[in-house]
Amino acid sequence: MNRIILALDTANLEKAINITKKVKSKIYTIKLGLEFFNAHGKEGVKKFNEIGITNLLLDLKLKDIPQTVYKAIKALDDIKFGYLTIHGQGGKEMIEKAKKAASEIYSRPKIMMVTILTALNDDDLKAIGNNSSVNEQVKKLAQVAKEMNVGIVCSGQEAKIVRKIIGQDLLIFTPGIRMQNDSKDDQSRICSPIDSIKNGSDKIIMGRSITNGNIEENLNKVANSLKI
């Protein structure tokens, strides 16, 4: 089950800690996003460090002017985490500053560049004045990731073309993962666990499909689906 990153999209610290204690031996790591970080900040992250989670994915999706992103990452020096998300659309200079800051803090997290959010589709892009398709945008951003030597966060649907562009050395994490009978919820571009891995993903990010209901049973279902 070391392919699974469990998304803990909650502001409930006690609940998140209890879930993690229960399943940490069965997953690769956890993901903490804006909801959790805005509620608990770095002190909340330290609670996970205290139970041995030091490689977590901090999903802040940073996008700002380069110096602001640099300083924001430098401010994370006193917590332990393995990965940090930024938006690729912030530009190459911002990405470079993010890499520099990450290399200067204690955890030295790997930068993971978000392409196009999995909640968006072609119509959503057109509505904000972008006439390129999702696939075209993801391809362009994958090339940027390759040039900047950073990992990528993309839909499992695009993982195959992204892998062709970036090669085998850079990481691909895929959110928007759903089992066959799961609700899409607010996601537009979903993919099954096994298809995402076959398409070239290194790790799959799953939240509600695991945390809704019996977590351990749901984890076993995902793990079994990856053996097909």
- The residues annotated with a catalytic role in the active site are 61
Please give the Cα distance from 42 to 77 (Å, whole number).
Answer: 10
Determine the residue type at 106.
Y
What the block records as the tokens of 195 is: 């298809």
How far apart CA 37 and CA 11 sit, in angstroms, is 8
**Which of 20, 37, 13 shows the shortest CA–CA distance to 85?**
37
HSE-CB at 152 with a 13 A cutoff on CA atoms is 35
Q: Could you tell me which of 77, 93, 72 has the C-alpha nearest to residue 85? A: 72
